[in-house]
Chain A
Amino acid sequence: ETGVTQSPTHLIKTRGQQVTLRCSSQSGHNTVSWYQQALGQGPQFIFQYYREEENGRGNFPPRFSGLQFPNYSSELNVNALELDDSALYLCASSLGAAILNTEAFFGQGTRLTVV
């Protein structure tokens, strides 16, 4: 148990729909990162939030957006879903974005299937 919880655990959506995934970070952690993991691949960085501000983004289109709340929990929103968006979405929380010796703790992930 890492203290990072994600909801829902599984989700099926239709192409073109919108989805919101949620993440509660570990107590005391102020940084949340989101990753997309396709089957058989390593996680790919989507974006990171530090103290409610986005402070890094990977190669994902603008239809991937996010929020971080004052309690440091976070949401990932994906608009106009495409079949290739089917993946495991992982949230990781840490204390500080680049402080040495700070590991990122991952939630159990949300398995999104787009049909």
Chain B
Amino acid sequence: GQNIDQPTEMTATEGAIVQINCTYQTSGFNGLFWYQQHAGEAPTFLSYNVLDGLEEKGRFSSFLSRSKGYSYLLLKELQMKDSASYLCAVRDTRGKLIFGQGTELSVKP
């Protein structure tokens, strides 16, 4: 079966660092994506991992361990505008994206 798990919600303080975890079990793997989605808007691409290790992109970093079926998204120097839903998605070998239910992040002052 296909299963992607991530926490339902998290709260963090402005200026802090937050890590959003994602574990997956899928029948095929062709990369893991993180998307940010503000309420009522389309998901926007944040990061992509296909090999093990850390990918850094400004304030956002994403890590992948294929052997453990595990990824995390790290957000540094949190800003109020980072309050959003963060979606972890695995792409299978046919290009289909399988999404988790999303993690609702609230950034407090």
Task: Determine the distance from Cα of A43 to Cα of B91 in the docked complex, in whole angstroms.
Answer: 13
Q: Is the CB of B95 within 8 A of A94?
A: yes
Task: Determine the distance from Cα of A104 to Cα of B28 in the docked complex, in whole angstroms.
Answer: 18
Cβ contact of B42, chosen from A40, A98, A106, cutoff 8 A: A106
Pair count A-B, CB < 8 A: 72
Number of interface residues of A (CB under 8 A): 31
Contacts of A78 in B (CB 8 A): none
| CB under 8 Å from chain A, chain B span 1-59 | 4, 30-31, 33, 35, 40-45, 48, 50
Determine if A103 is an interface residue (Cβ-Cβ < 8 Å).
yes
Among B33, B40, B41, B95: residue with most chain A CB under 10 A: B95
**What residues make up the interface of A, taking CB atoms closer than 8 Å to B?**
2, 31, 33, 35, 40-45, 48, 50, 55-56, 58, 90, 92, 94, 96-98, 100-101, 103-109, 111
